[in-house]
Chain A
C-alpha cells in the first residue's frame, strides 16, 4: 500500500515531515474552512440566496469585480511597459526601480491605504491637480481602482519579466532583416512568447485585488451601494453578529478564489508547454 502511494527513496523523514505538514494544514486551514462550509450549510436555501443576491451585495460585487478587472487591465498594460523597460533598457536607477517593484508586496496594506488617500485626496499632491478638472479619486470608485492597481502591480511585472528575457533577440533581428515592421515583430514574435506570462500576471493581480481589504477601505469612502467592497460587507455583517450572512458571502468569495487558483495553475502549465514547444 505504502509503496504504491510513494516512490521508494533512501532519504529519511518522509512520514514525519508529511505527517506534520498534513496535521498543521488540517489544524490551521482545513478545519477552519470546514467551519465556514458548515456555517453556510446551516442556512436555509432561501436565506442563502437572499444574502447573496441582496441589492447591497450585488452592488458590492459590481464594484469589487469591476474595479479589480479594471486594475488588472491597467496593470497588464503598464506592467508590460515597466517589465519591458527593465528588461530591454539600461538607464540610471534601473536596479533601484527593479528592487522597488516588490514594494507593494512588502508594504502593509494599511500603510498603502492611508498613503494613497493622502496623495489622491483633494488637497493631496496629485489630487489637487486633478480637482480643477472635476476628477475626484479619493472616496470614489476611481480610488478603489487606484489602490487595487498598486496592490496588483508586482504580480504582472514579476510574471512578465522572465518571459520577456526569454524572447529570442536573434529572431527579432532576423525578422527585421526580412523586412518585418516593428508591430509585426511585436505581434508575431514577442507577444506569443509573453502572452501566457501576461495572462498569469493578470489573473494573479485580479485574484489579489478581489480579496483586498486594507488598502481599499481607507480610500474608498465606504458608502453602501456605491463604494463598498464585498470584503467590507463581510466585516460589517460580522460586526452586526450576522455570522451566517458573513459566512455565505465568504463562501461565495472562497469559491471564486478556488476557481482563480485553478486557472492560474492551468495558465502556468500553458506557459511551460509553450516553452517546451519552442524547444527551450
Chain B
C-alpha cells in the first residue's frame, strides 16, 4: 500500500468510530475520479498530445524540425529576450521588494496595485500600449521614423512588451516573503556597523534566496512563453521577429503540425522544468522551517 494513509492517520480514523462508512468511501471515490477526469481531459490529454504529435512521424523528423533556420532563429530570439528581460526585472523586483517590505510609507498599497497591474491587463493591451507609443501613428512615431529607429515590429518592441508582461513576478514573490521575515536581523547588522550593500548580501539575500529563485524562474517561464503582447508588437517577420510561441503559431497555420508541436514540446519542457524547480524550492523552504 505505497502512498496509502500513514499509520497516524489510520490510528486517528480508528479512534473515531463511525468515520469510515460506506458513504464516506463512496464520496471519496467520487471526488477523486471527478478530479482526475476533469484534469485528464483538460490538462493531461493536451500535454500528452503535444509530445505525441511532435513525434507522430517518427523521432527523426522531430529532431530535423530543429534544424530549420527560422526555428533556430526563433529559439535564439527567445533566449536573447529572456536574457535581457529577466535580469532587469530581477533588479527591479529586489528594489521594489526592499522599499515596500522594509519601510512604512504612504501610498504603499497603491504602489503594490500598480505593480500588479500587468498581471490583470490583457496581454493584447500590453502590446497595444507600446504600439500607441512607438508605432507609426504613435506618440514618438514620427520622431522615430525621422531618426530611422524601429521599435515596433523589431527587437526593442519585443523586449519592451515582454518586460511589461513579466515585471511583477519577482516583486510579487519577494514582497510577502520579506514582510514575513521582518527587519530585526537587518537592523542588527546596521547597528553593528554593516553597510547597506553588505547587509543585503550577507543578511537579506541568504534568507530570501529560495523565494528569489522561484520568482526568477517564473519570470523566465513567462518571458519565454509570452504570446499575446509579443504578437501585437512583433509584426511576425519570419526568422527575424518571431519568438518561439509566435513561430509555433506560424508553423501551425501552415499545417506543419510536427514542426509546430516540436517547438511546443520545447516550451512544454520549459514549463515542466519550471514546475520541478518550484516544487524543489517549496520542499527546501518547507524543510528549512522545521
CB distance from A276 to the nearest CB of B (A): 17
Q: Is the CB of B32 within 8 A of A85?
A: yes
Interface stretch among A43-51, A55-63, A115-123, A192-200?
A115-123
Q: Complex Cα distance A97/B43, Å?
A: 11
Interface stretch among B58-66, B112-120, B142-150, B205-213?
B112-120
Instruction: Chain A residues near B32: list those with CB within 8 A.
Output: 85, 89, 91
A273 at the interface (CB under 8 A from B): no
B278 at the interface (CB under 8 A from A): yes
Nearest 10 CB-CB pairings of A with B: A108-B225, A211-B122, A115-B46, A32-B129, A6-B105, A214-B227, A213-B228, A12-B196, A92-B3, A17-B99
A28 at the interface (CB under 8 A from B): yes
Q: Complex Cα distance A109/B165, Å?
A: 13
A254 at the interface (CB under 8 A from B): yes
Known: A13-B99, A118-B257. 16 other contacts (CB 8 A): A9-B102, A10-B187, A14-B105, A33-B129, A81-B38, A109-B227, A110-B245, A110-B248, A114-B50, A124-B49, A150-B43, A232-B124, A235-B232, A238-B128, A257-B121, A260-B120
Residue of A at shortest CB range from B130?
A32
Q: Complex Cα distance A109/B95, Å?
A: 29
Given contacts A247-B128, A257-B120, contact A11 B103 (CB under 8 A): yes
Given contacts A107-B267, A238-B128, contact A211 B106 (CB under 8 A): no
Given contacts A108-B225, A231-B124, contact A85 B92 (CB under 8 A): no
Instruction: Chain B residues near A146: list those with CB within 8 A.
Output: 42
Residue of A at shortest CB range from B233?
A238
A70-117 interface with B by 8 A CB criterion: 78, 81-82, 84-86, 88-94, 97, 99-100, 102-104, 106-112, 114-116
CB distance from A30 to the nearest CB of B (A): 7
Q: Is the CB of B49 within 8 A of A118?
A: yes
Q: Complex Cα distance A12/B186, Å?
A: 10
Q: Is the CB of A11 within 8 A of B183?
A: yes
B271 at the interface (CB under 8 A from A): yes
B-side interface mostly: helix
CB distance from A150 to the nearest CB of B (A): 5
A241 at the interface (CB under 8 A from B): yes
CB distance from A261 to the nearest CB of B (A): 5
A240-254 interface with B by 8 A CB criterion: 241, 243, 246-247, 250, 253-254
Residue of A at shortest CB range from B6?
A90
B14 at the interface (CB under 8 A from A): no
B247-290 interface with A by 8 A CB criterion: 248-249, 252, 257, 260-261, 264, 267-268, 270-271, 274-275, 278-279
Given contacts A21-B96, A126-B41, A265-B113, contact A118 B125 (CB under 8 A): no
Residue of A at shortest CB range from B98?
A17
Q: Is the CB of A247 within 8 A of B132?
A: yes
Q: Is the CB of A111 within 8 A of B106?
A: no
Q: List 21 A-B contacts (CB under 8 A).
A: A9-B103, A11-B103, A11-B187, A12-B196, A21-B99, A21-B115, A24-B92, A25-B114, A35-B139, A36-B129, A78-B34, A82-B38, A100-B39, A100-B44, A103-B47, A107-B271, A108-B224, A211-B123, A214-B227, A231-B122, A243-B137
Contact residues on A (Cβ < 8 Å of other chain), bracket: 35 or more
A141 at the interface (CB under 8 A from B): no
A173 at the interface (CB under 8 A from B): yes
B215 at the interface (CB under 8 A from A): no
Show the binding face of A for B, using Cβ within 8 Å. Answer: 5-7, 9-14, 16-18, 20-22, 24-25, 28-33, 35-36, 38-39, 78, 81-82, 84-86, 88-94, 97, 99-100, 102-104, 106-112, 114-116, 118-119, 124-126, 146, 149-150, 153, 173, 182, 207, 210-214, 218, 231-232, 234-235, 238, 241, 243, 246-247, 250, 253-254, 257-258, 260-261, 265
Q: Complex Cα distance A60/B148, Å?
A: 38
Q: Is the CB of B3 within 8 A of A106?
A: no
Show the binding face of B for A, using Cβ within 8 Å. Answer: 2-6, 9, 16, 23, 28, 31-32, 34-36, 38-39, 41-47, 49-50, 53, 92, 95-96, 98-100, 102-106, 111, 113-118, 120-125, 128-133, 135-139, 160, 163-164, 167, 183, 186-187, 190-191, 195-196, 199-200, 218, 221, 224-228, 231-232, 244-246, 248-249, 252, 257, 260-261, 264, 267-268, 270-271, 274-275, 278-279
Instruction: Chain A residues near B190: list those with CB within 8 A.
Output: 10-12
Q: Is the CB of A7 within 8 A of B264?
A: no
